[in-house]
Amino acid sequence: MFNKKRHYLVLLTFILILTLLTGCFLLEDDTDLSIHIIDVGQGDSIFIRTPNGKTMLIDAGEPSAGKTVVSYLNRHYIDKIDILIGTHPHADHIGGLAEVINNFEIGKIYMPRKIHTSKTYEKLLETIRDNGLKITEAKSDITVELDEDIYLYFLNPLRDFGDDLNLWSVVLKMEYKDTSFLFTGDLESPVELELLEKYDPDFLKSDFLKVGHHGSNTSTSQEFLDNVQPIVAVISSKTGNSYGHPHKEVIDRLTKMNINVYRTDKQGNIVIRSDGEMIWSNQEPYHSN
Ligand SMILES: [Zn+2]
Protein backbone atom coordinates (compact mmCIF):
# COMPACT_ATOMS: atom_id res chain seq x y z
CA MET A 1 0.00 0.00 0.00
CA PHE A 2 2.75 2.37 1.06
CA ASN A 3 4.72 1.55 -2.08
CA LYS A 4 1.75 2.17 -4.26
CA LYS A 5 1.24 5.55 -2.63
CA ARG A 6 4.88 6.41 -3.22
CA HIS A 7 4.60 5.48 -6.88
CA TYR A 8 1.55 7.64 -7.06
CA LEU A 9 3.44 10.57 -5.52
CA VAL A 10 6.38 10.14 -7.91
CA LEU A 11 3.97 10.07 -10.84
CA LEU A 12 2.18 13.14 -9.55
CA THR A 13 5.47 15.04 -9.12
CA PHE A 14 6.49 13.99 -12.64
CA ILE A 15 3.21 15.26 -14.07
CA LEU A 16 3.56 18.51 -12.14
CA ILE A 17 7.10 19.14 -13.45
CA LEU A 18 5.99 18.29 -16.98
CA THR A 19 3.04 20.69 -16.71
CA LEU A 20 5.29 23.47 -15.43
CA LEU A 21 7.82 22.88 -18.20
CA THR A 22 5.16 22.78 -20.91
CA GLY A 23 3.65 25.92 -19.42
CA CYS A 24 7.01 27.67 -19.69
CA PHE A 25 7.34 26.68 -23.32
CA LEU A 26 3.80 27.67 -24.16
CA LEU A 27 4.07 31.08 -22.54
CA GLU A 28 5.59 33.57 -24.89
CA ASP A 29 8.65 35.63 -24.25
CA ASP A 30 7.11 37.78 -21.55
CA THR A 31 9.96 40.25 -21.28
CA ASP A 32 8.78 42.10 -24.43
CA LEU A 33 5.90 44.42 -25.10
CA SER A 34 3.70 42.58 -27.59
CA ILE A 35 1.09 44.01 -29.97
CA HIS A 36 -1.33 41.45 -31.36
CA ILE A 37 -3.48 42.40 -34.31
CA ILE A 38 -6.13 39.69 -34.03
CA ASP A 39 -7.69 38.53 -37.29
CA VAL A 40 -11.38 39.33 -36.79
CA GLY A 41 -12.27 39.49 -40.50
CA GLN A 42 -13.64 42.91 -41.51
CA GLY A 43 -13.05 44.91 -38.32
CA ASP A 44 -10.35 45.74 -35.78
CA SER A 45 -9.13 44.10 -32.61
CA ILE A 46 -5.72 44.84 -31.13
CA PHE A 47 -4.43 43.27 -27.94
CA ILE A 48 -1.40 44.63 -26.10
CA ARG A 49 0.55 42.97 -23.31
CA THR A 50 3.33 44.74 -21.42
CA PRO A 51 6.48 43.08 -20.01
CA ASN A 52 4.92 43.19 -16.51
CA GLY A 53 1.68 41.62 -17.70
CA LYS A 54 -0.54 44.71 -17.97
CA THR A 55 -3.08 44.36 -20.77
CA MET A 56 -5.03 46.55 -23.16
CA LEU A 57 -7.59 45.70 -25.82
CA ILE A 58 -8.55 48.14 -28.56
CA ASP A 59 -11.85 47.05 -30.19
CA ALA A 60 -13.12 43.49 -30.67
CA GLY A 61 -14.52 43.28 -34.21
CA GLU A 62 -18.15 42.49 -35.13
CA PRO A 63 -20.45 40.79 -32.58
CA SER A 64 -19.68 37.45 -34.29
CA ALA A 65 -15.94 38.03 -33.72
CA GLY A 66 -16.34 38.30 -29.94
CA LYS A 67 -15.75 34.55 -29.52
CA THR A 68 -12.60 34.71 -31.68
CA VAL A 69 -11.17 37.48 -29.48
CA VAL A 70 -12.10 35.67 -26.24
CA SER A 71 -10.48 32.42 -27.36
CA TYR A 72 -7.35 34.29 -28.56
CA LEU A 73 -7.01 35.89 -25.11
CA ASN A 74 -7.64 32.55 -23.39
CA ARG A 75 -4.90 30.94 -25.48
CA HIS A 76 -2.55 33.61 -24.13
CA TYR A 77 -3.58 32.96 -20.50
CA ILE A 78 -5.15 36.40 -20.07
CA ASP A 79 -7.69 36.83 -17.28
CA LYS A 80 -7.84 40.61 -16.95
CA ILE A 81 -7.98 43.50 -19.40
CA ASP A 82 -6.64 46.59 -17.62
CA ILE A 83 -7.67 49.03 -20.32
CA LEU A 84 -10.45 48.39 -22.81
CA ILE A 85 -11.02 50.85 -25.64
CA GLY A 86 -13.96 51.08 -28.03
CA THR A 87 -12.59 53.42 -30.69
CA HIS A 88 -15.99 54.46 -32.10
CA PRO A 89 -19.55 53.07 -32.11
CA HIS A 90 -19.44 51.11 -35.42
CA ALA A 91 -20.25 47.40 -35.04
CA ASP A 92 -17.00 46.19 -36.67
CA HIS A 93 -15.12 47.75 -33.72
CA ILE A 94 -17.36 47.53 -30.65
CA GLY A 95 -19.41 44.46 -31.70
CA GLY A 96 -17.35 41.87 -29.83
CA LEU A 97 -16.70 43.98 -26.72
CA ALA A 98 -19.77 42.67 -24.82
CA GLU A 99 -18.47 39.10 -25.15
CA VAL A 100 -15.06 40.23 -23.86
CA ILE A 101 -16.59 42.11 -20.91
CA ASN A 102 -18.64 39.04 -19.98
CA ASN A 103 -15.57 36.80 -20.00
CA PHE A 104 -12.76 38.78 -18.37
CA GLU A 105 -12.13 41.05 -15.43
CA ILE A 106 -12.11 44.58 -16.83
CA GLY A 107 -10.23 47.59 -15.45
CA LYS A 108 -11.08 50.84 -17.19
CA ILE A 109 -13.23 51.31 -20.30
CA TYR A 110 -12.57 54.27 -22.60
CA MET A 111 -14.95 55.32 -25.35
CA PRO A 112 -15.57 58.65 -27.12
CA ARG A 113 -18.61 60.66 -26.00
CA LYS A 114 -20.66 59.78 -29.07
CA ILE A 115 -23.80 57.72 -28.72
CA HIS A 116 -25.29 55.56 -31.41
CA THR A 117 -28.74 54.05 -31.72
CA SER A 118 -27.75 50.62 -33.06
CA LYS A 119 -28.74 47.42 -31.22
CA THR A 120 -25.04 46.49 -30.94
CA TYR A 121 -24.21 49.78 -29.22
CA GLU A 122 -27.17 49.50 -26.86
CA LYS A 123 -26.24 45.91 -25.99
CA LEU A 124 -22.71 47.05 -25.16
CA LEU A 125 -23.96 49.78 -22.81
CA GLU A 126 -26.25 47.25 -21.15
CA THR A 127 -23.38 44.76 -20.69
CA ILE A 128 -21.16 47.47 -19.20
CA ARG A 129 -23.92 48.39 -16.75
CA ASP A 130 -24.74 44.76 -15.89
CA ASN A 131 -21.11 44.15 -15.00
CA GLY A 132 -21.02 47.16 -12.66
CA LEU A 133 -18.58 49.01 -14.91
CA LYS A 134 -18.61 52.53 -16.26
CA ILE A 135 -17.23 54.36 -19.28
CA THR A 136 -14.48 56.95 -19.04
CA GLU A 137 -14.67 59.51 -21.82
CA ALA A 138 -11.86 59.15 -24.36
CA LYS A 139 -10.70 62.52 -25.66
CA SER A 140 -7.50 64.24 -26.72
CA ASP A 141 -4.94 65.25 -24.13
CA ILE A 142 -5.52 62.33 -21.74
CA THR A 143 -2.32 60.53 -20.73
CA VAL A 144 -2.27 57.14 -19.03
CA GLU A 145 0.68 55.16 -17.69
CA LEU A 146 -0.12 51.61 -18.77
CA ASP A 147 2.99 50.20 -17.12
CA GLU A 148 6.46 51.27 -16.10
CA ASP A 149 7.93 53.20 -19.09
CA ILE A 150 4.79 52.61 -21.19
CA TYR A 151 2.63 55.67 -21.80
CA LEU A 152 -0.63 56.10 -23.69
CA TYR A 153 -1.53 59.45 -25.21
CA PHE A 154 -5.07 59.99 -26.46
CA LEU A 155 -4.86 62.25 -29.55
CA ASN A 156 -8.47 62.10 -30.74
CA PRO A 157 -11.40 62.96 -30.47
CA LEU A 158 -10.14 66.51 -30.69
CA ARG A 159 -13.63 68.00 -30.85
CA ASP A 160 -17.29 67.26 -31.65
CA PHE A 161 -17.51 65.54 -35.05
CA GLY A 162 -21.31 65.45 -35.29
CA ASP A 163 -22.70 62.31 -36.91
CA ASP A 164 -19.55 61.22 -38.71
CA LEU A 165 -18.74 58.25 -36.48
CA ASN A 166 -15.37 57.40 -38.09
CA LEU A 167 -14.03 60.85 -37.23
CA TRP A 168 -14.76 60.23 -33.55
CA SER A 169 -12.24 57.35 -33.60
CA VAL A 170 -9.96 57.21 -30.61
CA VAL A 171 -6.42 57.78 -31.86
CA LEU A 172 -3.87 56.48 -29.43
CA LYS A 173 -0.15 56.89 -29.34
CA MET A 174 1.76 54.42 -27.18
CA GLU A 175 5.39 54.96 -26.23
CA TYR A 176 7.73 52.38 -24.76
CA LYS A 177 11.18 53.89 -24.22
CA ASP A 178 12.60 54.48 -27.73
CA THR A 179 9.74 52.78 -29.60
CA SER A 180 6.33 54.18 -30.50
CA PHE A 181 3.00 52.95 -31.82
CA LEU A 182 0.03 54.73 -33.37
CA PHE A 183 -3.49 53.26 -33.40
CA THR A 184 -5.97 55.17 -35.53
CA GLY A 185 -9.29 53.29 -35.52
CA ASP A 186 -11.26 54.37 -38.62
CA LEU A 187 -9.91 57.93 -38.64
CA GLU A 188 -10.15 59.67 -42.02
CA SER A 189 -7.85 62.12 -43.77
CA PRO A 190 -9.51 65.46 -42.82
CA VAL A 191 -8.88 64.71 -39.14
CA GLU A 192 -5.41 63.31 -39.89
CA LEU A 193 -4.68 66.84 -41.09
CA GLU A 194 -6.15 68.31 -37.91
CA LEU A 195 -3.82 66.08 -35.89
CA LEU A 196 -0.88 67.34 -37.96
CA GLU A 197 -1.90 70.90 -37.14
CA LYS A 198 -2.33 70.27 -33.44
CA TYR A 199 0.61 68.04 -32.56
CA ASP A 200 4.33 68.45 -32.93
CA PRO A 201 5.70 66.40 -35.89
CA ASP A 202 8.22 64.68 -33.61
CA PHE A 203 5.42 63.59 -31.30
CA LEU A 204 3.34 62.07 -34.12
CA LYS A 205 6.28 60.15 -35.57
CA SER A 206 5.78 56.44 -34.77
CA ASP A 207 7.59 53.21 -35.57
CA PHE A 208 4.32 51.32 -35.89
CA LEU A 209 1.06 52.37 -37.55
CA LYS A 210 -2.28 50.57 -37.36
CA VAL A 211 -3.48 51.79 -40.76
CA GLY A 212 -6.72 53.77 -40.50
CA HIS A 213 -10.10 52.42 -41.63
CA HIS A 214 -8.97 48.98 -42.89
CA GLY A 215 -6.76 50.49 -45.61
CA SER A 216 -9.49 52.66 -47.14
CA ASN A 217 -8.31 55.43 -49.48
CA THR A 218 -10.26 57.91 -47.35
CA SER A 219 -7.50 57.52 -44.74
CA THR A 220 -3.69 57.35 -44.54
CA SER A 221 -3.02 60.50 -46.59
CA GLN A 222 0.48 61.12 -47.91
CA GLU A 223 0.83 64.13 -45.59
CA PHE A 224 -0.01 61.97 -42.60
CA LEU A 225 2.45 59.23 -43.63
CA ASP A 226 5.19 61.80 -44.31
CA ASN A 227 4.81 62.87 -40.72
CA VAL A 228 4.33 59.53 -38.96
CA GLN A 229 7.07 57.77 -40.97
CA PRO A 230 6.31 54.28 -39.70
CA ILE A 231 8.68 51.34 -40.19
CA VAL A 232 5.85 48.84 -39.83
CA ALA A 233 2.18 49.22 -40.82
CA VAL A 234 -0.63 46.74 -40.22
CA ILE A 235 -3.94 46.61 -42.09
CA SER A 236 -6.89 44.78 -40.53
CA SER A 237 -9.52 43.69 -43.07
CA LYS A 238 -11.21 40.65 -44.58
CA THR A 239 -10.51 39.01 -47.94
CA GLY A 240 -13.21 39.90 -50.46
CA ASN A 241 -14.90 42.54 -48.26
CA SER A 242 -17.54 44.60 -50.04
CA TYR A 243 -15.61 47.88 -49.57
CA GLY A 244 -12.57 46.69 -51.53
CA HIS A 245 -10.33 47.34 -48.48
CA PRO A 246 -7.43 47.73 -48.47
CA HIS A 247 -7.39 50.11 -51.44
CA LYS A 248 -4.49 49.89 -53.87
CA GLU A 249 -3.60 53.59 -53.47
CA VAL A 250 -2.93 53.04 -49.77
CA ILE A 251 -0.76 49.95 -50.37
CA ASP A 252 1.16 51.92 -53.03
CA ARG A 253 1.68 54.87 -50.68
CA LEU A 254 3.01 52.56 -47.96
CA THR A 255 5.28 50.43 -50.15
CA LYS A 256 6.74 53.47 -51.97
CA MET A 257 7.98 54.63 -48.56
CA ASN A 258 9.61 51.23 -47.91
CA ILE A 259 7.23 50.55 -45.03
CA ASN A 260 6.86 46.88 -44.07
CA VAL A 261 3.16 46.12 -44.49
CA TYR A 262 1.36 43.31 -42.66
CA ARG A 263 -2.24 42.31 -43.51
CA THR A 264 -4.65 40.24 -41.46
CA ASP A 265 -6.64 39.34 -44.61
CA LYS A 266 -3.58 37.59 -46.05
CA GLN A 267 -1.66 36.55 -42.94
CA GLY A 268 -4.18 36.07 -40.13
CA ASN A 269 -3.07 37.19 -36.65
CA ILE A 270 -0.02 39.46 -36.62
CA VAL A 271 2.28 39.91 -33.61
CA ILE A 272 4.74 42.79 -33.34
CA ARG A 273 7.19 43.00 -30.43
CA SER A 274 9.29 45.67 -28.76
CA ASP A 275 12.02 45.59 -26.14
CA GLY A 276 11.93 49.39 -25.84
CA GLU A 277 14.83 49.83 -28.26
CA MET A 278 13.62 48.18 -31.45
CA ILE A 279 10.49 46.61 -32.88
CA TRP A 280 10.27 43.34 -34.79
CA SER A 281 8.01 40.49 -35.80
CA ASN A 282 8.74 36.79 -36.25
CA GLN A 283 6.53 36.93 -39.35
CA GLU A 284 7.60 38.27 -42.73
CA PRO A 285 5.73 41.37 -43.96
CA TYR A 286 3.26 40.79 -46.82
CA HIS A 287 4.52 43.82 -48.76
CA SER A 288 8.08 45.04 -48.42
CA ASN A 289 10.76 46.51 -50.63
ZN1 LIG B 1 -14.16 49.87 -39.20
Residue 111 maps to a domain: yes
Q: What DSSP character marks residue 111?
A: E
Residue 22 maps to a domain: no
Give residue 50's region: left, alpha or beta (phi > 0; psi -120 to 50). Answer: beta
Cα of 143 vs centre of ligand 1, distance in Å, is: 24
CA–CA gap between residue 37 and residue 236 (Å, rounded): 7
Sign of CA dihedral 198, 204, 31, 20: positive
Residue 12 maps to a domain: no
Between residues 17 and 184, the one the model is more confident about: 184
What's the pTM? Answer: 0.91
Residue 37 maps to a domain: yes
| Residue 1: per-residue pLDDT | 47
Cα of 284 vs centre of ligand 1, distance in Å, is: 25
| CATH number of residue 230's parent domain | 3.60.15.10
Cα of 190 vs centre of ligand 1, distance in Å, is: 17
Cα of 288 vs centre of ligand 1, distance in Å, is: 25
How many domains, in total, are found in the chain?
A: 1
Cα of 20 vs centre of ligand 1, distance in Å, is: 41
Cα of 221 vs centre of ligand 1, distance in Å, is: 17
Q: Is the pLDDT at 6 greater than 90, yes or no?
A: no
Cα of 18 vs centre of ligand 1, distance in Å, is: 44
CA–CA gap between residue 56 and residue 110 (Å, rounded): 11
Cα of 93 vs centre of ligand 1, distance in Å, is: 6
Share of the chain above pLDDT 70, in %: 90
Q: What's the mean pLDDT in 121-143?
A: 98
**Phi, psi angle pair for 154, to nearest 5°:** -85, 120
Cα of 78 vs centre of ligand 1, distance in Å, is: 25
* 209, 230 contact by CB (below 8 A): yes
Cα of 133 vs centre of ligand 1, distance in Å, is: 25
Buried b (16+ CB within 10 A) or exposed e, 245-265: bbbeebbebbbebebbbbbbb
Residue 58 maps to a domain: yes
| Residue 19: per-residue pLDDT | 55
Residue 4 maps to a domain: no
Cα of 180 vs centre of ligand 1, distance in Å, is: 23
Cα of 5 vs centre of ligand 1, distance in Å, is: 59
Cα of 185 vs centre of ligand 1, distance in Å, is: 7
Cα of 37 vs centre of ligand 1, distance in Å, is: 14
| Short-list 60, 46, 30, 282, CA closest to 147 | 30
| Residue 93: per-residue pLDDT | 98
* Surface-to-core class of residue 40, CB atoms within 10 Å of its CB (0-12 exposed, 13-18 middle, 19+ buried): buried
Q: What's the mean pLDDT in 187-211?
A: 98
**Mean pLDDT score across all residues of the chain:** 93
**Phi, psi angle pair for 204, to nearest 5°:** -75, -25
**What tens digit of pLDDT does each residue of 79-119 get?**
999 999 999 999 999 999 999 999 999 999 999 999 999 99
Between residues 12 and 204, the one the model is more confident about: 204
Q: Residue 124's domain spans which residues?
A: 29-278
| Residue 30: per-residue pLDDT | 77
Q: Is the pLDDT at 247 greater than 50, yes or no?
A: yes
Residue 153 maps to a domain: yes
| Residue 2: per-residue pLDDT | 47
Cα of 225 vs centre of ligand 1, distance in Å, is: 20
Q: What's the mean pLDDT in 175-201?
A: 98
**What tens digit of pLDDT does each residue of 164-174 get?**
999 999 999 99
CA–CA gap between residue 62 and residue 60 (Å, rounded): 7
**What tens digit of pLDDT does each residue of 12-57 get?**
565 555 555 555 444 555 799 999 999 999 999 999 999 999 999 9
Residue 222 maps to a domain: yes
